[in-house]
């Protein structure tokens, strides 16, 4: 049987994955602790924060109108999750006008990064920058769980065989590998990216509620928002 490595790339902010034909065959349970150390590898890069001066939010141009026209500042984050699979070809056929393949996932390397862009007016008020710093803090707090979330996502697919069909073997392999890719993407999205989005919404809610209250710093409100959301149980995708 032939072992191959295939690299795919997932960028998680607003997730969308096209539907592809395929199926999953579950194998007998294995020792997850052994899998964790031998076949699931996580490459975690630190967050990178870039501050950009602008008179317009990134989604607007001069003279354009939108529901965001009154926004003075904006923080944009991107939880990136790149997967590299090590596979074993269980079977393949390319003799009947189409191709089929079965790929067993022997291991996966998951590369994580978090670029954050903060858009501020050239002469931003201190309280405006402090507010956006709160969003950056939430992104960083959530990212502390990225390693564990990615590792658990990897454990969901290692040891399983995925079937793919296509016009040729390359297309069939791509279809097969799209399945573990989507499983990891969905699990990471829910455990990390979605949590950040929910905590950021809660933070904005708190900031509005405590407008003018100098006793409550934006960092305190950001931490409170994160704790409120992170204490909510997250559904485990199997």
165-199 pLDDT, tens per residue?
999 999 999 999 999 999 999 999 999 999 999 99
Distance CA 28, CA 76 (A): 42
Domain contains 148: yes
Domain contains 224: yes
- What is the chain's mean pLDDT, rounded? 79
Give me the phi and psi of 78, to 5 degrees please. -140, 110
How does pLDDT run across 222-231, given as a tens digit for each residue? 999 999 888 7
Q: What is the DSSP letter of 45?
A: P
Domain contains 57: yes
How does pLDDT run across 52-104, given as a tens digit for each residue? 887 665 555 555 555 455 677 889 999 999 999 999 999 999 887 889 999 99
Q: Is residue 32 pLDDT above 50, yes or no?
A: no
Q: Is residue 37 pLDDT above 70, yes or no?
A: no
Domain contains 236: no
Domain contains 172: yes
Q: What is the DSSP letter of 156?
A: T
Instruction: State the pLDDT at residue 210.
Output: 79
% of the chain with per-residue pLDDT over 70 = 73
Instruction: State the pLDDT at residue 70.
Output: 62
Domain contains 58: yes
- Residues of the domain holding 49: 3-62+69-230
Give the distance, in angstroms, between the CA of residue 26 and the centroid of all CA atoms in the same chain.
24
Domain contains 235: no
- Phi/psi class of residue 21: alpha, beta or left (left: φ > 0; alpha: ψ in -120 to 50)? beta
Number of structural domains found in the chain: 1
> How confident is residue 120, by pLDDT bands cut at 50, 70 and 90?
confident
Domain contains 101: yes
Say if residues 119 and 171 touch (Cβ distance below 8 Å). no
């Amino acid at each position: 049987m032939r072992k191959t490595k295939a690299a795919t790339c997932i960028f998680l902010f607003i997730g969308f994955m096209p539907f592809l034909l395929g199926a999953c065959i579950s194998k007998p349970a294995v020792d997850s602790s052994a899998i964790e150390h031998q076949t699931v590898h996580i490459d975690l890069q630190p967050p990178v924060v870039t501050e950009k001066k602008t008179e317009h939010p990134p989604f607007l141009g001069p003279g354009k109108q939108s529901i965001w026209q009154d926004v003075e500042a904006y923080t944009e984050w991107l939880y990136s999750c790149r997967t590299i699979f090590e596979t074993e070809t269980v079977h393949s056929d390319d003799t009947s006008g189409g191709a089929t393949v079965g790929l067993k996932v022997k291991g996966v390397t998951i590369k994580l990064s978090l670029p954050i862009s903060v858009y501020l007016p050239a002469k931003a008020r201190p309280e405006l920058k402090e507010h956006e710093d709160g969003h950056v803090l939430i992104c960083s707090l959530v990212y502390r769980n990225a390693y564990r979330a990615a590792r658990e996502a990897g454990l969901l697919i290692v040891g399983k065989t995925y079937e793919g069909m296509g016009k040729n073997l390359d297309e069939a392999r791509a279809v097969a590998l799209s399945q573990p890719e989507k499983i990891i993407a969905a699990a990471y999205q829910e455990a990390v990216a979605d949590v950040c989005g929910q905590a950021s919404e809660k933070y904005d809610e708190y900031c509005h509620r405590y407008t003018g209250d100098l006793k409550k710093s934006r960092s305190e409100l950001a931490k409170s928002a994160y704790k409120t959301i992170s204490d909510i149980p997250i559904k485990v995708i199997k």
